[in-house]
Amino acid sequence: MDGQTETLSIYVVEPDEVACERYRVLFAAQGFECVSFQNAEDFLTQYEPQQSALMVLDLSLPEMSGAELQSYMAENGMRLPVIVTASQASVPDAVAAMRAGAFDFIEKPMAEERLMGAVNAATEMLFKKQPATVSKKIVADRLAKLTDREREVLQHLLQGKLNKEIASELDVSQRTVEGHRSRIREKMNARGVADLIRMVG
């Protein structure tokens, strides 16, 4: 554990108690302090603005939703990197969360490696104060590699549409859409929708 993680907390706001415990075990193994809450209200009562922290936020919270909590935090100057998690059915909401300033979006069920990659990237940004960006020229070069159909699928992805919705609109199979998504991620050097939104959303 280095000097950065020693002073960093991870707030987990997740309605599933079992999932909260998994987060605690995972983050503790990586040297992070994890404080979990099952609703937004409990988080707000215990949030410490002086503490360097980031958040893993599920959108499907009871009472105040994840999106509402994100808006409340922005309105009240609670500025910390937010990694949004959501089921596939909540992808449109997750896209909205990204546009509202979330650091990353990870679709459930998630791989631990994907989550820790986002946590480490957020940690680096938090301490260096230098968000990772890709130059417009590099983005343009990557976009130029896409076929017309891949650009079409990309536009649907940026609107938060699900694979089955895209397949229906383009009159193709979901497997075809999944293939296009895979090639788009490869050509754009993106881990997922969150990276695509940061680059061209």
Return the pLDDT at 132.
52
User: Average of pLDDT values for 158-182?
Assistant: 91
Residue 189 pLDDT more than 90?
no
165 and 67 part of one domain: no
User: Average of pLDDT values for 62-89?
Assistant: 88
Last residue of a domain, one of 64, 94, 128: 128
Return the pLDDT at 196.
84
87 and 174 part of one domain: no
124 and 140 part of one domain: no
40 and 9 part of one domain: yes
Give the domain range for residue 121: 3-128
Beta strands 8-13 and 104-107, pairing class: unpaired
User: Average of pLDDT values for 165-173?
Assistant: 94
78 and 16 part of one domain: yes
14 and 95 part of one domain: yes
105 and 124 part of one domain: yes
| The residue to which tokens 């995972």 are assigned | 26
26 and 80 part of one domain: yes
Give the CATH number for residue 46. 3.40.50.2300
Last residue of a domain, one of 76, 94, 128: 128
46 and 102 part of one domain: yes
Q: Between residues 1 and 152, which one has the greater pLDDT?
A: 152
Count of structural domains, the chain: 2
Last residue of a domain, one of 80, 95, 128: 128
| Model confidence pLDDT, tens digit, residues 104-148 | 988 888 889 999 999 998 888 877 755 556 678 888 999 999 999
| Percent of the chain residues topping a pLDDT of 90 | 49
The structure's pTM equals 0.71
Distance (Å, whole) CA 138 – CA 136: 5
Q: What is the rounded average pLDDT for all residues in the chain?
A: 86
119 and 140 part of one domain: no
Distance (Å, whole) CA 39 – CA 136: 39
Across 34-38, 156-160, 188-192, the highest mean pLDDT is recorded for 34-38
Confidence band of 7 (pLDDT split at 50, 70, 90): low
Give the CATH number for residue 165. 1.10.10.10
Contact 40, 66 (CB under 8 A): yes
Structure tokens belonging to residue 141:
């070069």
Return the pLDDT at 82.
95
17 and 44 part of one domain: yes
Task: Please tell me the least confidently modeled range out of 1-10, 90-99, 135-144.
Answer: 1-10
21 and 96 part of one domain: yes
3-class state of residue 83 by DSSP: strand
